[in-house]
Amino acid sequence: MSENEKHGKGGVYSVKGEEFDRDSRYIPTRIVKDPAPGSDDYPVEPGRYRLVAAYACPWANRAIIDRDLLGLQDVISMGNPGPTHDADSWTFDLDPGGVDPVLGIPKLKDAYLKRFPDYSRGITVPALVDETTGEVVTNDFPQITKDLFFEWKDFHKDGAPDLWPEDRREEMEAVMERIYTEVNNGVYRCGFAGSQEAYDAAYERLFTALDWLEERLADSRYLMGDKITEADVRLFTTLVRFDPVYHGHFKCNRNKLTEMPNLWGYARDLFQTPGFGDNVDFQQIKDHYYKVHTDLNPLGIVPLGPDLSGWTTPSGRG
């Protein structure tokens, strides 16, 4: 890892050239219902895989929420690293003895190296690990959540939401792409800008997108209509971190989420939906960003605010 590269939650990012750039190269292996002959893909098999996902991380939080929404808790086990880590690996410091009770490892890196002894990229979450071998299968976070829906459908609970509705899918893919580039990644583009010019441009892009979402949600309960979809999961994990972290720590401070009426009501509506707010840990979120990003917060002081009690107030969007 060069002096211009740092390990981030969604991969290795670079500030070389002053503009934040996320390295989105992940392990491409998938877990699928019917692996093609000769492929490296793994078969869907209940009880075989462990989702390693930190509550602090927005990319991992997506997989945690989808697993709950689809009712896969008894089909795919879950291990949760603590909120802080060093440049080497996420660690299981919240578990007794600092060891994952199923995988028997103190660092997620151990599962990566067991399959790829010379693995040199970022040790990221979420990751799916094969419990039978202890080897990492994949850390491709957008593909993981997509496969939880399409490939594990036989094991979804009765009444599981249709997170990828066929009749809205093309539009939803476009909406999710804009959310990813301009919002999910946009807050990082602000926070890790390497120059005033890069920051100014990132700031304008982020709030242009948030204004677009504010307008979109003026007459629609959710992003794609009256039902929750994957697009909502992907936006929620950024919104729920906005005021506690991104507004101050990443300088995304034109306004708070609480000052955008439609987005704030929408975010509370989701937060109060089973599977969303019960998978949010605000303290872990704040501990992670403020303690791990020592380049942005060298003293590691974690703010006591903001007041987060508003998340449980009525959303008015029923």
Catalogue the active-site residues: 57, 188
Judge contact between 23 and 32, C-beta under 8 A.
Answer: no
Rounded CA separation 292/109 (Å): 17
Q: What is the residue-wise DSSP string for 249-278?
A: HT---SS-GGGSHHHHHHHHHHHTSTTTGG
**Is 311 known as a binding-site position?**
no
Side-chain half-sphere CA neighbours of 148 within 13 A: 33
The one-letter amino acid at 295 = D
Rounded CA separation 141/116 (Å): 18
Nearest to 99 by CA among 80, 118, 114: 80
Q: Which two tokens stand for residue 173?
A: 């893919």
DSSP state of 243: I
Binding-site residues from annotation for glutathione = 90
Binding-site residues from annotation = 90
